[in-house]
Amino acid sequence: MNRQNKPAFGPAILLALGVGLIAMSVIMLAAQNQGGEGFAFSAGSGFGGRLSVAFITGLTTGGLSCLAVQGGLLASSLAHQIEQDYAGPVRHKRGKKDKLVHPQHTNTALPIGLFLLAKLVAYTLLGFLLGWAGSFLTLSPLTRALLMIAIGIFMVGNALRMFNVHPIFRYFSIEPPKFITRYIRRTAKGTDTFTPLFLGALTVFIPCGVTQAMMAAALATGNSLSGGLLMLAFTLGTSPVFFIVAYLTTELGARTEKFFMRFVAVAVLILGLVTLDGGLNLMGSPLSFQNLSRSLLPPESPASVQISSSLPNSQGAATLYVENDGYFPQTLRLAANSPITLSLITDATYSCARDFVIPALGFYQLLPDTGTVQVKIPAQPSGTRMFFTCSMGMYTGMIIFE
């Protein structure tokens, strides 16, 4: 088909795509507010809640992080189109007079859409494979913590690279092998439909830090369907931001891109620090930001002060409420030098707070969404601080033995 005869993808189609993606986001957000019950694929496991968390992670952080890492592939897929569109005015002879004809500007919405569609399919398949592989192995909280710390360092290094802090940070950017880049480059000169589809699928080889964390989560599901759905929800979440920003940067030009890259660098830096902090939480390290602030600062909110229900009774028992937004109370003060039975109570809890970890004890259990699980804590000397967290290092708390 002649380039001039190609259909132009005007603002209406772009708007429809954007509205569609945002509508999906709203539906998923609404589902999360309902406790994710509508998406409970695994009966009684609250897996829908996890899908919502994965989607929101993609929507809020994954999109930017992925764009920072995979933007190059998207740019390659758009390069040919843009090169054609902006090849410059063509001089056509008309008798003795030359006439300047500007080529029709084809919108980049379609290739971006195709790129994202292929990415969605590829990552869903990857999640399927990871879940299947995960059925043969289990990631311990320590392994997951080390993975998160490594990912956090990778993300912080990438952010510092984007800020041009020091040449050493350039090595945080992975250079694909020459034969792959050559193959991608030659493919990018192919047909307009195939190129973005193919390059979108290739993004599985260059996952961003947040994506890698989600891949670890897919592996941890130990189920191919759950792994596939988790990656689908996450990748779907990354799509609106990816789409909007990629469209704006390709349409608005280099100046916007420069501004945007600064914005992405800040976002990736924050995300990297959060991931690093999550890894430290999961290791039970007192050096994580949350544990450090909890140890150094006096409790301010009612959630972090000692409440009567958490006091150990004469039999050495205490209660911790595991809710969708964390643990209550966040700080438990228990008697030293005597064993304690800690009751973990869940009531329609679907968030990752259910994946309860006490790193110092090597205790890790996925709690039922509603019910009580008891943990036997051996006697601890006075002054011991024992940290507990969810398996993602997001929700945390501390037990002080005194």
In the complex, which residues of this chain contact other proteins (CB under 8 A)? Answer: 71-72, 75-76, 167, 170-171, 173-176, 178, 181-182, 184-186, 189
Q: Smallest gap, in angstroms, from Cβ of residue 105 to other proteins?
A: 20
Q: Smallest gap, in angstroms, from Cβ of residue 193 to other proteins?
A: 21
Please say which residue, 156 or 230, places its beta carbon nearer to other proteins.
156
Q: Smallest gap, in angstroms, from Cβ of residue 104 to other proteins?
A: 24
Q: How many CB atoms lie within 10 A of CB 50?
A: 25
DSSP 8-state class, residue 298: P
**Neighbour-count burial of 40, counting CB atoms closer than 10 A to its CB (0-12 exposed, 13-18 middle, 19+ buried):** middle
Q: Smallest gap, in angstroms, from Cβ of residue 83 to other proteins?
A: 10
- Gap between the Cα atoms of 132 and 136, Å rounded: 7
Please say which residue, 174 or 248, places its beta carbon nearer to other proteins.
174
**Distance between alpha carbon 30 and the CA centroid of its chain, in Å?**
19
Are 204 and 126 spatial neighbours (Cβ–Cβ below 8 Å)? yes
Are 206 and 69 spatial neighbours (Cβ–Cβ below 8 Å)? yes
Q: Smallest gap, in angstroms, from Cβ of residue 80 to other proteins?
A: 11
- Gap between the Cα atoms of 206 and 270, Å rounded: 21
Q: Return the SS3 of 170.
A: helix
Are 369 and 45 spatial neighbours (Cβ–Cβ below 8 Å)? yes
- Gap between the Cα atoms of 304 and 299, Å rounded: 6
The secondary structure element, H or E, covering residue 351 is none
**Distance between alpha carbon 333 and the CA centroid of its chain, in Å?**
34
Please say which residue, 74 or 201, places its beta carbon nearer to other proteins.
74
Q: Smallest gap, in angstroms, from Cβ of residue 111 to other proteins?
A: 16
Please say which residue, 173 or 372, places its beta carbon nearer to other proteins.
173
Q: Smallest gap, in angstroms, from Cβ of residue 155 to other proteins?
A: 15
Please say which residue, 50 or 80, places its beta carbon nearer to other proteins.
80
Please say which residue, 184 or 231, places its beta carbon nearer to other proteins.
184
Please say which residue, 247 or 321, places its beta carbon nearer to other proteins.
247
Report CA torsion sign: 297, 301, 303, 307.
positive
Are 158 and 168 spatial neighbours (Cβ–Cβ below 8 Å)? no
